[in-house]
């Protein structure tokens, strides 16, 4: 989108991504925050300190637990004749709709990051960015889902991010996409506990 005459007078400088540990340390020095929150932000910022600063302004919740609960709700939608399944989803949707659009976007960025890590785990069995309970959950999910299913989930979440960014109604968006996610879990049994 820049005129060729301007581009010809510029110099391209490639800046490599900043290590997650360095981003985390910089956030801890600059802001009063828990180390776990700084680590979470560093991971999803993917080496971009400006993105990390934007995430700091919206960081409110433990996205890993929020994502786990949502996927459990989506998976349980397959179970018929249980009114608690839909009520759990509606409670979760009520909670996510109250955290605000910026935090919803951060949550979805985290979910996309998590699915990318699941794909890496399914390919080579390791993740350099997940540990503890997150890694256990990602390993379980990646062992039960095929690569195409993980890709479909990523597409669903990318579309959801697009609509959240454009001020779509979060309750409608998260409920409708929960059913799309549930359809991805079509033949899986006990993916998530």
pLDDT for 1-58, tens place per residue?
Answer: 788 888 889 887 888 889 989 999 999 999 888 888 888 788 888 888 888 887 776 6
Q: Which residue has the tokens 């581009």?
A: 7
44, 109 Cβ separation under 8 angstroms: yes
Q: What is the pLDDT of residues 53-72, one digit of tens each?
A: 877 766 545 778 889 899 98
Q: What is the pLDDT of residue 193?
A: 47
Question: Does the pLDDT value for residue 131 go beyond 80?
Answer: no
Q: What is the pLDDT of residues 137-148, one digit of tens each?
A: 889 888 888 889
Residue 55: which residues within 8 A CB-CB, separation 6 or more?
A: 41, 44, 45, 106, 109
9 vs 187 pLDDT, higher one: 9
Q: What is the pLDDT of residue 76?
A: 84
pTM for the whole structure:
0.76
């Amino acid at each position: 989108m820049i005129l060729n005459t301007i581009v010809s007078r510029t110099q391209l400088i490639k800046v490599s991504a900043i290590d997650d540990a360095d981003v985390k340390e910089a956030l801890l020095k600059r802001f009063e925050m828990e180390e776990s929150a700084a680590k979470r932000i560093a991971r999803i910022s993917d080496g971009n300190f400006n993105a990390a600063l934007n995430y700091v302004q919206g960081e409110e919740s433990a996205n890993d637990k929020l994502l786990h609960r949502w996927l459990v709700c989506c998976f349980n939608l397959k179970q018929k004749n249980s009114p608690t399944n839909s009520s759990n989803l509606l409670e979760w949707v009520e909670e996510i709709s109250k955290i605000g659009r910026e935090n919803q976007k951060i949550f979805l960025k985290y979910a996309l990051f998590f699915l990318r890590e699941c794909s890496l785990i399914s390919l080579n069995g390791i993740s350099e960015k997940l540990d503890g309970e997150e890694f256990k959950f990602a390993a379980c999910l990646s062992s039960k889902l095929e690569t195409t299913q993980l890709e479909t989930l990523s597409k669903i979440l990318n579309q959801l991010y697009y609509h959240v960014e454009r001020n779509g109604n979060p309750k409608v968006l998260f409920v409708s996409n929960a059913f799309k996610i549930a359809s991805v879990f079509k033949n899986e049994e006990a993916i998530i506990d």
